[in-house]
Amino acid sequence: MKKVLLLSLGLVMGFSAFAQNRVVKAEKAAKATAVKKAVGNDISNTTSVLDYSSQARQSVVTNRAENFEESETMWTFYDLQSNFQVSNRMYQHNNGSVAITATMSHQDNQTVSDRGTGYNFAPNGEMAFNGMPEVREEANATGDDIRTGWPTIAPYGATGEILVNHASGLNYWTREVAGEGQWDGPHAIPNPQGLDGQQYDFSLSWPRVATSGANNEIVHVFSAAQYNVSADEIVNAMFYSRFDGETWSTQWAPLFDTEEHMGIYSADDYSVAANGDVVAVVYSTVFHGHVVMYKSTDNGLTWERNIVWENPHYGCDWETDECSLTGENPVYSPVHNTVAVGPDGVVHVAVSSFPYTHEELGTMFSYYYGRTAEGIAYWNDTREEPIATFQLWMDDPENEGYVLHSMDSINFCGWIPFYENIAEFSADMVYKGDDYIYAMYTTGSSFPALSVDAEGNLALAYSTPDTYRTYNGQYYFRSVAMSYKDADNEGWNVAVETVMDDFIHMMDEAIFVNAAPYATKANEFWFAYIADQTPGLFWGLAPTQTSATSNTVYAFKISSEFIEEDNVNEVIANDVVYNIFPNPATDFVCVSSTMDADATITFTNLAGQTVKVVSQRLTAGDTSININDLTSGVYFCTVNANGYSHTSKVVVK
């Protein structure tokens, strides 16, 4: 059963291990220099007339508990919000106000000539966003039709904010008071010119912005650029742009000192955070690179290199180098990263992972999916050693050859939650799709987003399969789970198994999790995610959706309500219903209960209409409910018993 929204329910331990399921090999380009990230024509401009004739949508605010609020902030048909990391799309100002941005388009076709910056704002730390924007910020600011993508936002100055996006290079926009007045822009961030060793005419894209200094007056933008040398060769390069209040300077990323600034990392392989005079950027890439963190304590003037995870196959060429062959035993590769800088200057990093094998020369590899074949690892820069290679497959017969990462609450901060129906978990129901981008997204727990508060407490939100909700009974929907770490404790606790435990989310797929990396109020954290009702993407490389669907960007605020152990036990005692089966069903369903209880069972159709209500005495074990009066279709079955409400989607044949 999904737990109530309390950030102090304690660590859920693993009870049993489930074998990894091997999926069919797919031939992909393994080296970063040969992988072109999906741009969707995203650095071209358009001269078409923009049509904002869609009806205005009001944001819906949900309050499911005293410590949880959620709001719709914007909607978009454009669902490719990132190639990998999603960072710096959200911030909290010193006064508590929260701003959020996303790539927005209200056209349901591949032209997306109206693509630009969606923006919303909630003042004073209240869940009070300004409805759902129908016009992108570029049109609000200038009235022109500049087409942009990949917006990133940060506080700027004592009261203002700065927005950066790309459109044939990088542009920035500022305003003196966050959430108010007209944007000043666009202003160009200079493309690299005359850098040592530069061979190509790079145009910057895929930005991440953070600000540092006493009044957030120093601006830091990390970005990437691609150059097509030939039809078969693409050069990826990493850059850093800094604004000191008067002048912009663009140079190679700090990776330049180790000659890793070209050919290893690519678009969106980085996350950025800042706090006070401390700035940190993390780079990660699948297969071939290290996970590295660069830290500056002087507002970006100098940088110190830290290895978060050391790749045992660093530098190997899959096409020619025998050392890259891993045989039948999987090794782990990092995928997504997230970073936050605490008030004490400590840099916190979380990295998601997946296991793979590369068994022969060439670009062929195999993914593994399973309950224990994934996880989100945690590291901070007070540790002297990197994360230990993600190699969880150990020679340990008692654990069937591998260890459960969820028993290690120090080095791991996220994993697929241990729902009560976990014994039914099937790796085949984790949606992969044919798009390599989506396959990377869906390797179990993905898109980690870290937030640290003014006392150094940490919260992590991430996308993960939800074994209670399925798409047409075939694939698990992805939900958003959370973990929490007290500043005074080393270990992580499960906070919320799903923040989407609500009727409105019963058929939602959630990915692209984001965070306000620094929370101004102790134990009150802000996160965001994007959701629609279809697994996969409509944009990207080999999109997995056949038509565009409307995506909603949700923001939520969650605070920790620490409770005594007796109260925890009382809450769990009310958690009566833990399963409804069979599903699909025909003439009856069984309600499994942990104790005797009087219950009301309500069946609701997809239109929200109540079609059947049953008053039933549940006994410990299974109680049968007759449903032969229901027509074939999809229903939501809600059981109210012993002060607890549980809703499941039921398919009636």
pLDDT at 358: 83
Number of neighbours of residue 52 by Cβ within 10 angstroms:
12
208/64 same-domain check: yes
Domain boundary pick from 518, 547, 567:
567
533/581 same-domain check: no
Domain boundary pick from 567, 593, 613:
567
Domain boundary pick from 534, 567, 600:
567
- Tokens standing for residue 8: 């102090």
pLDDT above 50: residue 10: no
Residue with the larger pLDDT of the pair 118 and 330: 118
Predicted TM-score of the model (pTM)? 0.80
Q: Is residue 471 domain-resident?
A: yes
465 to 126, 156, 515, 555, 647: CA distances (angstroms): 30, 37, 19, 20, 17
Residue with the larger pLDDT of the pair 637 and 50: 637
CA distance 452 to 349: 11
548/485 same-domain check: yes
Percentages (nearest 5) of helix, strand, coil residues in the chain: 10, 45, 50
- Tokens standing for residue 539: 């944009």
Percentage, residues of the chain above pLDDT 70: 79
Which of helix, strand or coil describes residue 168? coil
Q: Is residue 13 domain-resident?
A: no
274/363 same-domain check: yes
610/593 same-domain check: yes
- Tokens standing for residue 358: 């590369």
**pLDDT tens for residues 581-621?**
787 788 898 887 777 888 899 998 877 788 999 999 988 88
Render 196-212 in DSSP notation, one character per residue.
Answer: TT--S----EEEEEEEE
Q: Is residue 254 domain-resident?
A: yes
CA distance 413 to 409: 6
pLDDT above 90: residue 372: no
Q: 176 is in which domain, residue-wise?
A: 21-567
CA distance 599 to 620: 12
State the SS3 of 439-493. HHHCCCCEEEEEEEECCCCEEEEEEEEEEEEEECCCEEEEEEEEEEECCCCCCCE
| CA 388 centroid distance within chain | 23
What integer best gives the mean pLDDT of the chain? 81
Number of neighbours of residue 83 by Cβ within 10 angstroms:
23
pLDDT above 50: residue 267: yes
Q: Is residue 57 domain-resident?
A: yes
Rg (CA), the chain: 24
Put the strands of the sheet holding 458-471 in their side by side order: 493-496, 475-485, 458-471, 446-453, 518-519
Q: Is residue 9 domain-resident?
A: no
pLDDT above 90: residue 425: no
Residue with the larger pLDDT of the pair 283 and 467: 283
Number of neighbours of residue 613 by Cβ within 10 angstroms:
11
Q: Is residue 429 domain-resident?
A: yes
Q: Is residue 40 domain-resident?
A: yes
Residue with the larger pLDDT of the pair 110 and 51: 110
pLDDT above 80: residue 206: yes
- Tokens standing for residue 576: 């009566």
pLDDT above 90: residue 284: yes
pLDDT above 50: residue 400: no
638/511 same-domain check: no
pLDDT above 90: residue 411: no
Exposed / middle / buried, residue 499 (Cβ in 10 Å: 0-12, 13-18, 19+): buried
Q: Give the chain's domain count.
A: 2
Q: Decide if 432 contacts 441 (C-beta within 8 A).
A: no
Q: Where residue 363 falls among pLDDT bands split at 50, 70, 90?
A: confident
**pLDDT tens for residues 288-329?**
899 999 999 999 999 999 999 988 888 888 888 887 777 666
Assign residue 599 the CATH number of its domain: 2.60.40.2550
pLDDT above 50: residue 378: yes
Helices (H) and strands (E) in the chain, counts: 3, 39
- Tokens standing for residue 377: 């690892």
2 to 499, 512, 525, 571, 646: CA distances (angstroms): 9, 22, 20, 12, 9
pLDDT above 90: residue 163: yes
Q: Is residue 16 domain-resident?
A: no
pLDDT at 143: 62
Scanning the structure block, which residue is given the tokens 């978060």? 308
**pLDDT tens for residues 426-467?**
888 888 887 777 776 666 889 999 999 999 999 999 999 998
CA distance 245 to 252: 20
101/134 same-domain check: yes
Tell me the Ramachandran region of residue 21: left when phi exceeds 0, alpha when psi lies from -120 to 50, beta otherwise: beta
Q: Decide if 352 contacts 385 (C-beta within 8 A).
A: no
110/220 same-domain check: yes
Residue 262 DSSP symbol: B
339/226 same-domain check: yes
Q: Decide if 633 contacts 609 (C-beta within 8 A).
A: no
520/600 same-domain check: no
297/430 same-domain check: yes
- Cβ neighbors of 37 (< 8 A, separation 6 or more) are 83, 206, 226, 266, 267, 268
pLDDT above 60: residue 35: no
Percentage, residues of the chain above pLDDT 90: 49
563/588 same-domain check: no
